[in-house]
Homo-oligomer: A and B are copies of this chain.
Amino acid sequence: MNAGGNSKTAVFPPVFENSAARGRAVIVCEHASNHIPAPWGDLGLTPDQRHAHIAWDPGALGLARGLAQRLDAVLVHAPVSRLVYDCNRAPDMAGAMPARSEVHDIPGNATITPEDRAARTAAIYVPFHDGLHALLMDRIARGLHPALITIHSFTPVYFGTPRAVEFGIINDADDTLPRAILDAARTRTTLRCELNEPYSARDDVTHTLRLQATPYGLPNAMLEIRNDLIATPDAETQMAATLAPVLAAAMAALTPEPVM
């Protein structure tokens, strides 16, 4: 993995869609892609592993796009597999460049030198968060009161155990928006919804919220949808149609109201 330490490694900024959108929500998808750029080869993984949930959140980008369209929201997503760098993890977390994910060893991450860790951080993590930060700061400076919503999917079976929850809503320090989303989802959908399932901030999964929303007091929530419910483009569209009114209702209950 010496290539990762090459100072000529390309930089992988986030992808922005609907940049001119005027809705209050800023939709983020850190695990949108299973792409492993050339400097990191295939990380020693089989094709099946590179398409499994360990490499990305299947369905999350399609759902996020459907939500962004329906909510007139900007969408920011990462172009690189979380197995190269997980943009929802700080550089000193084991999960940032994991040597093992669920039951799979990641050979290309077994031994990463400090220089390689720094190179991946500079190539993927820093540009992702700088790009999102600049977008949020522009909107804050204009008085637009953005709300940060991150979209994830989770595997229905984890370490051999089925998960019953279908829609998890996870909070960092401020649970105002997550609780409003939970209330709206229970009223407006038949999804099995839970707060802070299948995991919570105590599992260190709310890094993006903690870094980008909490210091600014922005309303924020991390959404987790069980990936068997968004396994096809049609299912992604259906779920976006189900959840967009839920998010709209939850945001409408926030103060101050959107000014856009």
**A interface, CB within 8 angstroms of B:** 90-92, 114-115, 117-118, 120-122, 125-126, 129-130, 133-134, 137-138, 140-143, 207, 210-211, 214-216
The answer to whether A133 and B129 have CB atoms under 8 Å apart is yes
CB contacts (< 8 Å) of A91 on chain B: these are: 137, 140-141
Cα–Cα, bound, A215→B206 (Å)? 10
The answer to whether B126 and A134 have CB atoms under 8 Å apart is yes
Cα–Cα, bound, A142→B115 (Å)? 7
Cα–Cα, bound, A39→B127 (Å)? 28
Cα–Cα, bound, A76→B126 (Å)? 18
Q: Out of B118, B125, B138, name the residue touching A142 (CB < 8 Å).
A: B118
Cα–Cα, bound, A91→B143 (Å)? 9
Q: Out of B121, B142, B215, name the residue touching A90 (CB < 8 Å).
A: B215
The answer to whether B92 and A121 have CB atoms under 8 Å apart is no
Q: List 24 A-B contacts (CB under 8 A).
A: A90-B215, A91-B137, A92-B140, A92-B141, A115-B142, A117-B141, A117-B143, A118-B138, A118-B141, A120-B141, A121-B141, A122-B134, A122-B141, A125-B137, A126-B133, A126-B134, A130-B130, A130-B133, A130-B134, A133-B133, A210-B215, A211-B215, A214-B215, A215-B215
Number of chain copies forming the complex:
2
Q: Which residue of B lies closest to A211 (CB)?
A: B215
CB contacts (< 8 Å) of A118 on chain B: these are: 138, 141-142
CB contacts (< 8 Å) of A115 on chain B: these are: 142
Q: Which residue of B lies closest to A130 (CB)?
A: B130
Known: A115-B142, A118-B138, A121-B141. 15 other contacts (CB 8 A): A90-B216, A91-B140, A92-B141, A92-B143, A114-B141, A117-B142, A117-B143, A121-B140, A122-B134, A122-B141, A125-B137, A130-B130, A130-B133, A210-B215, A211-B215
The answer to whether B90 and A140 have CB atoms under 8 Å apart is yes
CB contacts (< 8 Å) of A129 on chain B: these are: 133
Whole-angstrom distance between the Cβ of A114 and the nearest chain B Cβ: 4
CB contacts (< 8 Å) of A140 on chain B: these are: 90-92, 121
Q: Which residue of B lies closest to A208 (CB)?
A: B215
Whole-angstrom distance between the Cβ of A9 and the nearest chain B Cβ: 13
Q: Which residue of B lies closest to A91 (CB)?
A: B141
Whole-angstrom distance between the Cβ of A111 and the nearest chain B Cβ: 14
